[in-house]
């Protein structure tokens, strides 16, 4: 029997989606699902959702719950990580303190000040997962959904004794689906190739039967001026390739879009967007908890997430191509070798095998390096316990440098280090 451990299972909506995807495969219907969360109440809600999902799909799975992570991971074939260290309270800190310095953020979970500190809170947990896996499930694959993806995957590759990890996101598949809808081409007829860094990757080829579909996208943009008022379209116009992440995300990885109110209005960006999303997630959790208690029904449709495809391919040997974040072992030669990059990966019984992407455009690689500079300094800060490298990461961050001077940046970093306290790696605590 295949065993899959969900770490941070209290994220019940995502747990439902992934479980629905997994258990819908006949070959995986009798899987052992081990749910882990440090919050007993959320774990109970996740269990209720898991049992409801399993019942809708035939009721063949074995479901266990665990507040002890090592116990949950023992003997696992796969572990799916979706933890959020500090939850909503830490998110508020990441937004409210920088806002006092005049620093604008939209999402704050991948790069920028918010991404740096989310990474610093999460890296100790990631390394703890790696230590557990190395001891109780050394052959397992860790499928990581937690952001900031590139920073966490690099830190895991460098600092964990367990090495079988791939970072998963839905940006590539959702982006290509949205583009296909925009130009009115059936998604199943589209072929595409993407590469780069998670949340700053680009669609290098977007075709149907050998036809380049980018001219159709440019024509659509010319017909609708409002489309031009999006960061993604601006980047497509300037760089020639469409980015895989949303405008709200993309804006805060760059120095050009959040520096003043006029730019924010021009590109229709929403400052503090993630705070509202986080509040909505809390409300949705309460609604689902109440709905489960009342015996309500929930939607159960296959998602575009890759986790179930990876498990199915490795269990059955039926190959799949997914996009994953992995260590850059010669995959994108213009990017640093210890960085984590997002590339196509072939998955079968042998595991996840990344594919090199040759002739990656040099200007895209140059832009990615500004992203990866921040990622690397954040990893160095966490693994070496150096507070000065936290400042270096913030100094190198494009959006922060585009708004704050060095004195402001240093003061902001010190305040955030104090505010996050015990969530941080030991060497970074005050």
Helix count and strand count (H, E) for the chain: 17, 13
Cβ pair 236, 187 in contact under 8 A: no
DSSP string, 209-255: TTEE-HHHHHHHHHH-GGGGGSHHHHHHHHHSSEESS-HHHHHTTSS
Residue with tokens 């208690």: 293
Asked whether the CA dihedral 323, 328, 331, 335 is positive or negative, the reply is: positive
Annotation marks residue 162 as catalytic = no
DSSP for 110-135, written as a single string:
SSHHHHHHHHHHHHHHHHHHHHHHHH
Q: One of 170, 199, 358, 423 is an active-site residue; which one?
A: 170
Angle, CA 5 vertex, CA 9 and CA 44 arms, to 5° = 35
Count of C-beta atoms within a 10 Å radius of residue 248: 22
Concatenated DSSP letters for 209-221?
TTEE-HHHHHHHH
Residue 117 near residue 94, CB atoms below 8 Å: yes
Which of 194, 142, 152, 153 is closest to 173 using CA atoms?
194
32-71 CB burial, b ≥16 within 10 A, e <16: bbbbbbeeeebbbbbbbbbbbbbeebeeebebebbeebbe
CA–CA gap between residue 216 and residue 47 (Å, rounded): 47
Q: Catalytic site residues?
A: 170
């Amino acid at each position: 029997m295949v065993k899959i451990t969900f770490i941070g299972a209290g994220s019940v909506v995502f747990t439902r989606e992934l479980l629905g995807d997994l258990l819908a495969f006949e070959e995986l219907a009798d899987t052992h699902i081990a749910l882990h969360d440090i919050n007993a109440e959320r774990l109970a809600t996740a269990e209720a959702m898991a049992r409801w999902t399993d019942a809708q799909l035939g009721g063949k799975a074995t479901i266990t719950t665990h507040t002890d992570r090592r116990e949950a991971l023992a003997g696992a074939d796969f572990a799916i990580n979706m933890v959020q260290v500090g939850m909503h309270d830490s998110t508020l800190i990441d937004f409210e303190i920088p806002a006092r310095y005049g620093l604008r953020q939209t999402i704050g979970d991948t790069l920028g000040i918010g991404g740096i500190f989310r990474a610093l809170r999460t890296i100790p947990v990631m390394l703890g997962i790696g230590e557990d896996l190395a001891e109780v499930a050394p052959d397992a694959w860790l499928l990581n959904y937690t952001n900031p993806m590139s920073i966490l995957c690099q830190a895991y590759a460098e600092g964990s004794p367990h090495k079988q990890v791939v970072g998963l996101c839905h940006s590539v598949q959702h982006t290509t689906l949205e583009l296909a809808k925009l130009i009115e081409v059936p998604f199943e007829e589209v072929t595409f190739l993407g590469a780069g860094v998670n949340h700053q990757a680009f669609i290098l080829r977007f075709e149907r039967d050998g036809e380049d579909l980018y001219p159709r996208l440019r024509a659509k943009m010319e017909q609708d001026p409002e489309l031009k008022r999006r960061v993604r379209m601006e980047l497509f116009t300037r760089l020639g390739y469409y980015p895989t992440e949303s405008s709200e995300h993309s804006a805060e990885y760059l120095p050009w879009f959040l520096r003043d109110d006029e730019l924010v209005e021009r590109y229709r960006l929403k400052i503090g967007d993630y705070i509202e999303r986080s509040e909505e997630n809390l409300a949705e959790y309460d609604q689902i908890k109440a709905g489960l208690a009342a015996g309500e029904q929930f939607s159960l449709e296959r998602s575009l997430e890759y986790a179930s495809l990876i498990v199915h391919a490795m269990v059955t040997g039926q190959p799949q191509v997914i996009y994953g974040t992995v260590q850059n072992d010669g995959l994108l030669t213009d990017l640093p070798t210890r960085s984590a990059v997002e590339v196509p990966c072939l998955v079968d019984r042998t595991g996840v095998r990344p594919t090199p992407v040759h002739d990656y455009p040099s200007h895209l690689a140059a832009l990615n390096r500004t992203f990866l500079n921040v990622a690397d300094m954040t990893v160095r800060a966490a693994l070496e316990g150096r507070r000065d490298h936290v400042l270096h990461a913030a100094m190198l961050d494009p959006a922060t440098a585009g708004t704050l001077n060095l004195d402001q940046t240093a003061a902001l970093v010190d305040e955030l280090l104090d505010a996050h306290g015990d969530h941080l790696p030991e060497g970074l605590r005050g």
